[in-house]
């Protein structure tokens, strides 16, 4: 028994396909949670949304989904995607894609083996407004943003970094990292479980699962895609360099 968690695919269909196939083969996994930002930056935003639906993944709303479905100043401040890229992404989506986004919640709470677990893209208030565009990953800051959520473990994304803070007596936090904005041929997801090693039933088992994906195909798609500003963001998002004069 375990839960799979990942997020921030950002239009990298090859990475998403590899992760979902790997999860499907792991019969210990009982549920999969996706932390938002399936779209923007990569060449396959719409296809990523549809694949998440096909696999019936539990998805929360990311700031880029929030940005394409409605103007929100707080969500806009969270992205370095320019207006043209946002519009290009929006125009690639169908009504069905937008309907799927519109029903994504800001957060999902579950009780897993007696532990309250929260899945969210980032720190929002009740209206969806972003509380802060960049938070420091330390216990004091995290407690400030999540103290009213009444949860034991928080999984969140957005910052494309992977950090874990475990305190089984108080609150634990997993900053998931980006599974789509990777610079090698390896992506990843997280397996989470609660094991009873010492009779207290609350020992968290959190580890990263690396998965190979077809990076060559992804790079070829990026080279061919008409994505405004890709010569600026692709190097630090995906490790792909473009000649600005030819793109």
- Our measurement of the distance from residue 65's CA atom to the centroid of its chain's CA atoms, rounded to an integer in Å, reads 11
Total domain count, the chain: 1
Give the CATH number of the domain where residue 168 resides.
3.60.21.10
Provide the sign of the torsion angle of the four alpha carbons 40, 42, 47, 50, taken in this order. Answer: negative
Summarised one tens digit per residue, pLDDT across range 57-104 is 999 999 899 888 865 554 555 566 788 898 899 999 999 999 999 999
Does residue 27 fall inside a structural domain?
Answer: yes
Does residue 245 fall inside a structural domain?
Answer: no
**CA distances for 68 relative to 25, 90, 120, 124, 236, angstroms:** 33, 6, 18, 17, 22
What's the mean per-residue pLDDT of the chain? 88
- Among 66-70, 122-126, 216-220, the minimum mean pLDDT is found in 122-126
Does residue 239 fall inside a structural domain?
Answer: no
Summarised one tens digit per residue, pLDDT across range 168-188 is 677 899 999 999 999 999 999
pLDDT at 1: 83
**CA distances for 236 relative to 2, 92, 158, 230, angstroms:** 32, 24, 15, 10
Calculate what percentage of the chain has a pLDDT beyond 90: 64
Does residue 129 fall inside a structural domain?
Answer: yes
Q: Domain range for residue 179?
A: 2-216
Does residue 24 fall inside a structural domain?
Answer: yes
Asked whether the whole model's pTM tops 0.85, one would answer yes
Task: Give bridge partners of residue 209 from the DSSP assignment.
Answer: 189
Does residue 233 fall inside a structural domain?
Answer: no
Does residue 20 fall inside a structural domain?
Answer: yes
pLDDT at 168: 67
Going by pLDDT thresholds of 50, 70 and 90, the confidence category of residue 218 is: very high
Does residue 65 fall inside a structural domain?
Answer: yes
């Amino acid at each position: 028994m375990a839960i799979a968690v990942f997020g921030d695919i950002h239009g990298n269909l090859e990475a998403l396909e590899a992760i979902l196939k790997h999860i499907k083969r792991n019969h210990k996994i009982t549920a999969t949670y996706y932390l938002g930002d399936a779209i923007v930056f990569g060449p396959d935003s719409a296809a990523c949304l549809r694949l998440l639906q096909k696999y019936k993944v539990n998805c929360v709303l990311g700031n880029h989904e929030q940005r394409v479905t409605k103007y929100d100043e707080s969500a806009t401040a969270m992205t370095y995607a320019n207006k043209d890229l946002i519009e290009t992404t929006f125009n690639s989506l169908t009504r069905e894609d937008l309907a799927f986004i519109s029903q994504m919640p800001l957060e999902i709470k579950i009780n897993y083996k007696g532990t309250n677990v929260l899945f969210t893209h980032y720190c929002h208030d009740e209206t969806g407004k972003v509380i802060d565009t960049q938070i420091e990953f330390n216990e004091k800051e995290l407690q400030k943003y999540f103290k009213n959520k009444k949860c034991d473990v928080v999984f969140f994304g957005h910052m494309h970094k992977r950090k874990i803070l475990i305190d089984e007596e108080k609150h634990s936090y997993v900053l998931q990292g980006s599974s789509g904005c990777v610079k090698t041929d390896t992506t990843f997801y997280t397996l989470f479980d609660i094991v009873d090693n010492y009779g207290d039933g609350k020992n968290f088992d959190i580890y990263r699962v690396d998965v190979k994906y077809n990076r060559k195909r992804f790079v070829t798609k990026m080279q061919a895609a008409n994505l405004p500003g890709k010569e600026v963001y692709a190097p630090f998002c995906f490790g792909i360099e473009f000649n600005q004069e030819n793109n």
